[in-house]
Amino acid sequence: MKINFVARLNDSPLVIVPIFKNAATLALLDRLAVDFKQTPFLLRRDFKAEAKECLLLYPEQGSDRKVFLLGLGAEPSLGDVLAIFRYFAFTQRARLTQDVVLDWRVSTIGATSTTYLTAAVNGLCLGGYQVGVHKADSLFNIHPFKNASAMLTICAQHPYLQLVAQKGVETAEAQMRLMDLVNAPSNFKQPRVLGEWAEASGKQFGYKTTIFDKKKCIEKGLHALLSVNQGSPEEPRFIIMEYLPTGITNKKLTKIGLVGKGVTFDTGGISIKSSTNMHKMKSDMGGAAAVLGTIELAARLQLPVHLIGIIPSTENMVDGKATKPGDVVGSYLGKTIEVIDTDAEGRIILADGLSYMVKNYNPDTLIDLATLTGSVIGTLGYHCAGLFTNDDALAARLTLAGELTGEKVWRLPLWDAYAEDLKSDIADLSNFSGKPMAGAISAAKFLEVFTDRHPHWAHLDIAGMAFSATELSPQQSATAYGIRLLTAYIELIINDL
Ligand code: BES
Ligand code: MN
Ligand code: ZN
């Protein structure tokens, strides 16, 4: 979607007027009634500006000119605004056209923070997202906003707002590209495809990629990743990305290391999962998607930050060659792991991702994201990710970024007592406590070993957040969780907040 700017509404054929529910709402409705030739008391009666409320007006007799009043509710958060616009664009798709004007004049929307506009545009674009790309009619049935020539015109006092809106488009485009990848079935996104995706994105948006194939993984000693890959006919990939903005040389940039779990399908391996929900395990690369999306978006926006991304990627399959429960495997760090449960594969591949990052890049801050445990869903449900860190300042920033974006996180403990159960008689540690409790925490304690005591490390268990039910799909589908969270986090650092 392209962005345009006008200072006056004129006679635009399709206008969206967002309206807060506050003390000024009634007066605003009376004015809009005059502008759009409505009866004031009817407008007051039929539109309350509740969140997601939508009233369609036809101001000209015999004309198709449409004006949508869109309720924002009282004091919505940025996440609410995004959700409201996304819901609007999705549910009104049959009435929308590819040329739309968003009325963002101070007289209608008030003197609100510019970040609201980014969120609104972000939501409008996301509402055009199409889950059913494998349907035969998917090429004919596209949302008007997804047309190549679709144009969103921002009607506002200051042309600067065009840039603010553009950020919403860039964010949505990165998010939707990653939603496509997470929604893709595993027969369309082997680890090799993830690597190719990163390479193409790096070329297009300007960041460096280095991709290890199986031979290179063996050469580098990525034994933990290789052990999970053993049962799969598809080669693993170890994907490394590095982003630096162009043209900034005089300033020391914060270096942030991001590691994402890239399991393109998780059968559980020999400790096989039950079949009921196994198909959803195509989304077990949601952490990888968050990392890919954040780096692509940082490059699109040319954020002043130094990012390193690492994605260990493999399938976790059942096979005669697969790692068996009780096997002992090595790791890049040199520690040995007794594999009690082959379904606890995420932590095994992240072990290599984390220690490779620390040893070769030594970032100032290290954050990993993974659809790591069912346990975190049992603990926190589908409303936030589990956050694990010993760094209070990092916890505070990530929590604030979560509140700002609506991609929330909640901190859980990392006390050493939880590591007791990971002791192994025969290896340096085991990958599973064998107990049905505190599973998300012991998984985090496992990862901690491979960060080599990095003082500024945080782990986000996003198992409940990467793939969930929204209005876009009654079944679960990709959410792009983490991209806005991490981008907001990076912006807090950039602005010294
Ligand atoms: N990928 C799963 C975790 C998961 C579960 C993600 C549900 C999204 C939704 C992970 O690899 C896994 O299987 N974890 C096991 C660990 C256990 C065997 C220690 C789990 O949580 O059951
Ligand atoms: Mn698993
Ligand atoms: Zn998994």
Would the pLDDT of 415 be above 90? yes
Ranking 32-36, 105-109, 459-463 by mean pLDDT, the lowest is: 105-109
458 or 134, which is more confident: 458
Decide if 2-169 and 184-494 have a common fold: no
In the three-class reduction of DSSP (H, G, I as helix; E, B as strand; rest coil), residue 180 is classed as: helix
8 Å CB contact between 149 and 98: yes
Ligand 1 atom with minimal separation from the 373 CA? 21
Average pLDDT along the chain: 96
Span from the CA of 445 to the centroid of ligand 2 (angstroms): 17
Q: Which residues contact 433 (CB under 8 A, 6 or more apart)?
A: 421, 422, 439, 442
Instruction: DSSP letter for 186, please.
Output: G
Q: Which ligand is nearest to the CA of 267?
A: 2
- Residue 347 annotated to the active site: yes
Query: What are the structure tokens assigned to 370, written together?
Result: 């993974």
Question: What does the alpha-carbon distance between residue 134 and residue 137 come to, in Å, rounded to a whole number?
Answer: 9
The predicted structure's pLDDT at residue 388 = 99
Give the pLDDT band of residue 111 (cuts 50, 70, 90): confident
pLDDT confidence bin for 379, thresholds 50/70/90: very high
399, 411 contact by CB (below 8 A): yes
The predicted-structure confidence for 275-314, as pLDDT tens digits, reads as follows 999 999 999 999 999 999 999 999 999 999 999 999 999 9
Judged against a pLDDT cut of 90, whether residue 215 lies above it is answered with yes
| Residue 108 contacts residue 69 (beta carbons within 8 Å) | no
Residue bearing the CA closest to ligand 1, atom 17 = 344
Using a 6 Å CB cutoff, which residues line ligand 1? 266, 284, 341, 343-346, 371-375, 432, 439, 463
What is the CA(2)–ligand 1 centre distance, in A? 40
Q: What is the mean pLDDT of residues 439-455?
A: 97
> b/e per residue, 459-496, with b = 16+ CB within 10 A?
bbbbbbbbbbebebeeebbbbbbbbbbbbbbbbbbeee
The residue-averaged pLDDT of 455-463 equals: 98
Best probe residue, ligand 1, of 372, 431, 476 (max atoms within 8 Å of C-beta): 372
pLDDT higher for 124 or 470? 124
Q: Which residues surround ligand 3, an ion (CB under 5 A)?
A: 263, 266, 284, 346
pLDDT of 250 above 90:
no
The residue whose CB lies within 8 Å of the most ligand 1 atoms, and thus the one to mutate among 275, 318, 341, 373, is 373
Nearest-angstrom CA–CA distance, 366 and 292: 15
Q: What is the pLDDT of residue 112?
A: 82
- Tokens in use for 447? 């990862």
Measure 282 CA to ligand 3 centroid, in angstroms: 9
State the pLDDT at residue 311: 99
State the distance from the centre of ligand 2 to the C-alpha of 252, rounded, in angstroms.
Answer: 39
Condensed to tens digits (0 to 9), the pLDDT of residues 124-174 reads 999 999 998 899 888 888 999 999 999 999 999 999 999 999 999 999 999
**Token code pair at residue 273:** 């999962």
Tens of pLDDT, residue by residue over 56-104, are 999 999 999 999 999 999 999 999 999 999 999 999 999 999 999 999 9
**Among all ligands shown, which has an atom nearest to the Cα of 385?**
1
Does domain 2-169 fall under CATH 3.30.2130.10? My reply is no
**% the chain with pLDDT above 90:** 92
Q: Please indicate whether residue 65 is annotated as part of the active site.
A: no
Q: Which of 66, 347, 445, 484 is catalytic?
A: 347
Cα of 265 vs centre of ligand 2, distance in Å, is 9
Count the neighbouring beta carbons within 10 Å of the beta carbon of residue 134.
10
Measured at the CA of 365, the angle between CA 359 and CA 368, to 5 degrees, comes to: 80
CA–centroid distance, residue 335 to ligand 2 (Å): 21
Q: Locate the domains of the chain by residue range.
A: 2-169, 184-494
Pairing of strands 467-470, 473-478: antiparallel
**Closest ligand by atom to 373 CA:** 1
**Residue range 199-216: mean pLDDT, rounded:** 98
Question: Terminus-to-terminus CA distance in the chain, angstroms?
Answer: 32
Q: Grade residue 255 by pLDDT with cuts at 50, 70 and 90.
A: very high
Confirm or reject CATH 3.40.630.10 for domain 184-494, answering yes or no. yes
Which protein residue has the closest C-alpha to ligand 1 atom 5? 374
Give the per-residue pLDDT at 475: 84
| Residue with CA closest to ligand 1 atom 22 | 374
309-362 pLDDT, tens digit per residue, is 999 999 999 999 999 999 999 999 999 999 999 999 999 999 999 999 999 999
The residue whose CA has the least distance to atom 8 of ligand 1 is: 463
Query: What single-letter amino acid sits at 281?
Result: M
With a cut of 80, say whether residue 472 has pLDDT above it: no
Using only C-alpha atoms, what is the Rg of the chain? Answer: 24
105, 273, 280, 335: the active-site residue: 273
- Which atom belonging to ligand 1 lies closest to the Cα atom of 263? 1
